[in-house]
Amino acid sequence: MAQITVQGINFDANSSFQRGPAKAPALIRNAFYSDSGNSYSEDLILIDSSVFSDAGDFEIKDYFDIESITKANLRQTDKLLTLGGDHSITFPLMKAYREKYSSFDILQIDAHSDLYHDFEGNPYSHASPFARIMENNLADRLIQIGVRTLTPHQKEQAERFGVEIITMPDFDLSSLPVYDKPLYVSLDMDGFDPAFAPGVSHHEPGGLSTREVLSILHQINVPIIGADIVEYNPDRDFREMTAYLAAKMMKELLAKMI
């Protein structure tokens, strides 16, 4: 099997506002394989079945089935790229990853910090995965870029866990973080400005452009051991704009993971 495997997680039961991201993996794949573009990344790496295998999509009945599915797939491959799904899937993903990798950092690109202790009484809400990740010591370091919806509670949580947050008012491509450990990338599609990604449940203006996110990814200076692309909501999309954007990010992330 190839060193990299793609898995789809059809799950959005922990979404707090709108359902829809469970439908996303198949549509991201459709855009990825579409004849509208070629299979080369921007640095001319051919992204095809010779460099990654596809484990398919998984229908999730129980939340922590995500962990067991991911562990099983990680036993067969070195790295996973996961198509979600709401952002709550990242917690069980990291539980599986921590079993395989003893030391790594997380880069989260997102409009939200997702650090609520619980949201509306749900500790596994898509607004809470990084609180669960950090309190369980599932990552050595968490860097968040693109945040523009902080609350006092989440700011306190960030300070508690030592999270490094680069908010949009402070964002500067010339002073991105330097990484010194293997990196896991969690890309929430609402990290993009809604002008670029209308197909998300939570429209938060003032976000990142496509080129800015690509620049963030291209400047990563350490191995990427895994990634997820989450929170694409096809029910909110316009002419598949966000599906094709997610597919572009899938291609560039796979190129960086090789």
The number of domains in the chain is 1
CB 54 within 8 A of CB 5: yes
Helix or strand holding residue 71 (H, E) = helix 65-74
Q: Which domain holds residue 182?
A: 4-257
pLDDT of residue 67: 98
Task: State whether residue 131 is helix, strand or coil.
Answer: helix
pLDDT of residue 201: 96
What percent of the chain lies above the pLDDT cut of 70?
99
pLDDT band per the 50, 70, 90 thresholds, residue 23: very high
Residue 189 sits at the vertex; the CA angle it makes with 98 and 3, to the nearest 5 degrees, is: 40
Q: What share of the chain is helix, strand, coil (3-state, %, to 5)?
A: 35, 20, 45
Tokens encoding 106: 């997380």
Tokens encoding 154: 């989440």
Which pTM value belongs to this model?
A: 0.97
CB 93 within 8 A of CB 132: no
pLDDT tens by residue, 88-121: 999 999 999 999 999 999 999 999 999 999 999 9
Q: Do you find a cis peptide bond into 85, omega within 30 degrees of 0?
A: yes
pLDDT of residue 2: 62
Mean pLDDT over each residue of the chain, to the nearest integer = 97
Mean predicted confidence (pLDDT) in 169-179: 96
Reply yes or no on whether the pLDDT at 1 is more than 90. Answer: no
Q: Is 100 exposed, middle or buried (0-12, 13-18, 19+ CB in 10 A)?
A: middle
pLDDT tens by residue, 34-91: 999 999 999 999 999 999 999 999 999 999 999 999 999 999 999 999 999 999 999 9
Q: How far is CA 219 from CA 7, 20, 79, 168, in A?
A: 25, 32, 20, 18
Mean predicted confidence (pLDDT) in 178-206: 98
Mean predicted confidence (pLDDT) in 182-209: 98
190-193 long-range contacts (CB < 8 A, ≥24 apart) are 190/110, 190/111, 190/112, 190/231, 191/109, 191/110, 191/111, 191/145, 191/146, 192/245
Alpha carbon distance, N-terminus to C-terminus of the chain: 14
pLDDT of residue 85: 96
Please report, for the domain that includes residue 19, its CATH number. 3.40.800.10
